[in-house]
Amino acid sequence: MTARALKTFLGLRNYQVEIAATLHSAVALAPKIEFDVLVCDLTLPDGSGWELPAKLGERARSRAIAYSALDEPHHLLQSRQAGFAEHLVKGCDPDELVAAIERVFQGKGRFPK
């Protein structure tokens, strides 16, 4: 439900959005599309979103945003260590997500490499 709502919101902002509901489907979809920024929930039905940057390799590093209800300092550290450029907490202002997408697209994510 969150993914569909984000797709609608971002679509209204002229972003093209593809949805993968599971870790497995994201890994299968990634080679078929050219993505600029990856927005990933960390709690997936078949694994952890923290696994995804490693599974996608260099293509996802520095171009991924963790988007999750997990918001403790150790969660942010784990996102950084997994290769995410930023970590946003679900429920944040939607404009904050747009700003993060733009930063990551420009290579200016909040987690310095």
Tens of pLDDT, residue by residue, the chain (113 residues): 788 999 999 999 999 999 999 999 999 998 898 889 999 999 999 999 999 999 998 777 779 999 999 999 999 999 999 999 999 999 999 999 999 999 999 989 888 65
The gap between the terminal CA atoms of the chain, to the nearest Å, is: 32
Sketch out the chain's domains with CATH numbers. 18-105 (3.40.50.2300)
User: Hunting for tokens 């987690």 — which residue is that?
Assistant: 111
Helix (H) or strand (E) holding 48: strand 47-48
Q: What is the DSSP letter of 51?
A: G
What pLDDT is recorded for position 22?
A: 95
For residue 60, the Cα-to-chain-centroid distance in whole angstroms is 9
Which token pair is 86?
A: 């930023």
What pLDDT is recorded for position 110?
A: 85
pTM of the model: 0.92
Helix (H) or strand (E) holding 38: strand 38-40
